[in-house]
């Protein structure tokens, strides 16, 4: 009898304590392509976020309404595939105890999967997917209450910068190359729209597309070359961008390649080698330790993962800053409930010092007629990067001040 009572108490106390333990953690999911062509972005984003999480947990966790709560991480590989991404989103939204999700690299994955989070009201910070469609899909249907936020320089900004750069270089005729994914197609449309918006100074002489997995871009490039293009404006991901760079070199087609931030992916830079030099792309972060603000993050990343080069510095820094912002929002909400976290993300009171900038109220109340309310980045905190001997450096050194945080919104 005595023994059974003892066992009962022991069982009860373990039950209670596991219950208490479960209440003491904040569950966050990170999703992205950890394999496949977009993996450098997915892995860097994840590792940047994990760096933030380990720093937060080492300091005891997030203070949620007086209790210190550690972050518990759930990771899912969406392989950069739309259907797989939708399954992952379904799974995570069905778990029931996830407070927020960070991630998504491929715009198509956000388009296919985010509806499950919206249905359940689960907070998601999209980073680093840049395609316009992942936010405009909600403004188009006029969603009133949106738990999806973006922490990336969206393609609208990027296309604007690409066109600005082409005009700055004094070009008149350009060719647009893009991949056949949601990302590539919406990038092409953004470019065409921006060219119109910026006074039609550029003439598009060729528009060519390519598929994921294409290795031979000679055909598309010959058409661009024959039509007299002075630059290639391009929207695609690493492996195909590299194929375009080597095709350009093969044909002796020495024109600048300007495109989305994906031109900073390691699988573009490493595969293209010398042929990739000079490629220009918008960046929110440059892996350059001479930038005061960026140095601590860069050093911590190198040390934590034993690397000398971050595969995708932009993704890593965005993953890190997004996690810091989310942690602050959970703290300010004083709860792990997604609805309250969403409300505090829309109205952050404390400025968060990140690796990219000092984030002062990056998002505001969602307004379906203005996607900018849930977009953290503006043209003013984005710079132009350039590939130089295997790394991305500032294309215009005068923009260093932007990254130091002299101009944040």
Partner 1 sequence: MNAELLALIQMAVGGGLMGMAYALVAYGFQLTYAAGKAVNFGQGELVMLGAFIGLSLAGIGLPYWAAVPGAMVAGAALGWFVERAAVRLALQQRNEGWILLTIIVGLFGVSAAENIWGREDKPFPVPWPDGALEFFGISVTWPELAIAAGALGMMALVELAKRYTMPGIAVQAVSADPDSAELCGIRSKSAISLSWAVSGAAAAFAGTIIAPVTTVGPTMAAALTLKAFSVAVVAGLDSGFGLVLAGIALGSAENLSGFLLGSGWREAPGLILLILALALRPQGIFGKKIIRKV
Closest separation in Å from C-beta 35 to partner 1 = 4
Residue 81 or 115 with smaller CB distance to partner 1: 81
| Beta-bridge mates of residue 29 | 74, 101
Closest separation in Å from C-beta 319 to partner 1 = 19
Closest separation in Å from C-beta 102 to partner 1 = 22
Residues 6+ apart with CB under 8 A from 168: none
Closest separation in Å from C-beta 159 to partner 1 = 22
Closest separation in Å from C-beta 186 to partner 1 = 19
Closest separation in Å from C-beta 349 to partner 1 = 42
Residue 36 or 259 with smaller CB distance to partner 1: 36
Residue 173 or 379 with smaller CB distance to partner 1: 173
Residue 190 or 240 with smaller CB distance to partner 1: 240
Q: What is the 3-state secondary structure (H, E, C) of the chain?
A: CHHHHHHHHHHHHHHHHHHHHHHCEEEEEEEECCCCCCHHHHHHHHHHHHHHHHHHHHCCCEEECCEEEEEEEEEEECCCCHHHHHHHHHHHHHHCCCCEEEECCCHHHHHHHHHHHHHHCCEEEECCCCCCHHHHHHHHHCCCCCCEEECCCCHHHHHHHHHHHHHHCCCCEEEEEEECCHHHHHHHHHHHHHHHHCCCCCEEEEEEEECCCCCCCHHHHHHHHHCCCCEEEEECCHHHHHHHHHHHHHCCCCCCEEECHHHHCHHHHHHHHHHHCCCEEEECCCCCCCCCCCHHHHHHHHHHHCCCCCCCHHHHHHHHHHHHHHHHHHHHHCCCCHHHHHHHHCCCCCCEECCCCEECCCCCCCECCEHHHHECCCHHHCEEEEEECCEEEECCHHHHHHHHCCCCC
Closest separation in Å from C-beta 333 to partner 1 = 38
Residues 6+ apart with CB under 8 A from 280: 162, 165, 256, 257, 258, 259, 263, 384, 385, 386, 395
Closest separation in Å from C-beta 299 to partner 1 = 26
Residue 220 or 381 with smaller CB distance to partner 1: 220
Site residues (vs partner 1, CB under 8 A): 35-37, 39-40, 79, 180, 208-211, 213-216, 218-220, 222-223, 226, 239, 242, 246, 249-252, 267, 270-271, 273-275
The span from the CA of 325 to the CA of 124, in Å, is: 12
Residue 66 or 252 with smaller CB distance to partner 1: 252
Tokens found for residue 34: 């950890």
Q: How many CB atoms lie within 10 A of CB 74?
A: 15
The span from the CA of 181 to the CA of 69, in Å, is: 40
Residue 1 or 308 with smaller CB distance to partner 1: 308
Residue 156 or 247 with smaller CB distance to partner 1: 247
Closest separation in Å from C-beta 262 to partner 1 = 14
Residue 187 or 239 with smaller CB distance to partner 1: 239
Closest separation in Å from C-beta 80 to partner 1 = 10
Q: How many CB atoms lie within 10 A of CB 209?
A: 17
Residue 39 or 314 with smaller CB distance to partner 1: 39
Residue 74 or 212 with smaller CB distance to partner 1: 212
Phi first, then psi, for residue 84 (nearest 5°) are -65, -40
Closest separation in Å from C-beta 278 to partner 1 = 15
């Amino acid at each position: 009898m005595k023994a059974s009572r003892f066992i009962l108490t022991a069982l009860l106390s373990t039950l209670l304590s596991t219950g208490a333990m479960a209440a003491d953690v904040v569950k966050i999911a990170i999703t992205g392509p950890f394999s496949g062509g977009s993996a450098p972005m997915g892995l860097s984003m994840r590792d940047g976020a994990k760096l933030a999480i380990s720093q937060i947990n080492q300091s005891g966790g997030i203070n949620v309404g007086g209790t210190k709560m550690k972050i518990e991480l759930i990771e899912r590989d969406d392989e950069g595939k739309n259907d797989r991404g939708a399954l992952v989103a379904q799974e995570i939204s069905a778990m029931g105890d996830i407070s927020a999700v960070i991630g998504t690299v491929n715009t198509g994955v956000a388009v296919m999967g985010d509806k499950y989070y919206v249905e359940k009201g689960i907070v998601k910070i999209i980073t680093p997917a840049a395609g316009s469609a992942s936010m405009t899909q909600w403004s188009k249907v006029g969603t009133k209450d949106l738990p999806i936020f973006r922490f990336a320089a969206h393609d609208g900004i990027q296309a604007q910068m690409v066109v600005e750069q082409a005009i700055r270089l004094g070009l008149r005729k350009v060719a647009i190359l893009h991949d056949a994914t949601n990302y590539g197609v919406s990038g092409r449309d953004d470019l065409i729209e921006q060219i119109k918006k910026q006074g039609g100074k550029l003439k598009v002489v060729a528009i060519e597309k390519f598929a994921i997995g294409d290795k031979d871009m000679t055909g598309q490039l010959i058409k661009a070359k024959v039509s007299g293009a002075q630059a290639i404006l391009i929207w695609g991901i690493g492996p195909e961008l590299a194929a375009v760079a080597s095709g350009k070199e093969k044909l002796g087609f020495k024109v600048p390649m300007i495109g989305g931030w994906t031109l900073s992916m390691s699988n573009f830079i490493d595969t293209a080698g010398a042929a990739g030099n000079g490629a220009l792309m918008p960046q929110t972060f440059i892996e350059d330790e001479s930038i005061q603000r960026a140095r601590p993050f860069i050093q911590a990343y190198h040390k934590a993962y034993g690397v000398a080069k971050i595969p995708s510095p932009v993704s890593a820094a965005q993953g890190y800053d997004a996690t810091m912002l989310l942690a602050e929002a959970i703290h300010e909400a004083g709860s792990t409930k997604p609805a309250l976290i969403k409300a505090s993300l829309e109205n952050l009171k404390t400025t968060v010092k990140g690796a990219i900038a000092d984030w002062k109220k990056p998002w505001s109340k969602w307004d379906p007629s203005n996607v900018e309310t849930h977009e953290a980045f503006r043209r003013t905190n984005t710079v132009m990067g350039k590939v130089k001997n295997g790394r991305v450096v500032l294309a215009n050194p005068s923009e260093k001040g932007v990254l130091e945080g002299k101009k944040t919104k």
